[in-house]
Amino acid sequence: MMQVARGPRSGQTMTEFLLVAMTCILFFFILAIFLNSYLEHSYRVLSLLSSQYP
């Protein structure tokens, strides 16, 4: 079996993996921020509606 020489491509896989991992983490972080703001806003709307009806 021939061993393939490790050239400049040896770091490309790790770089691509880190870019994809950081993109996924950033996506889920932004999604969590949007979910938090949505839940906070919906709670305010429900409390305003419930204050008008006894």
Six-digit token pair at 24? 């996924």
Question: How high is the pLDDT of residue 54?
Answer: 60
Instruction: Give the model's pLDDT for residue 46.
Output: 75
The per-residue pLDDT for 6 is 63
DSSP string, 1-54: -PPPP--GGGGHHHHHHHHHHHHHHHHHHHHHHHHHHHHHHHHHHHHHHHHH--
Q: What does the block give as tokens for 39?
A: 């839940």
Measure the CA–CA gap between 11 and 9, rounded to whole angstroms: 5
- What are the mean pLDDT values of the chain's consecutive 10-residue runs (54 residues total)? 63 92 98 90 77 65
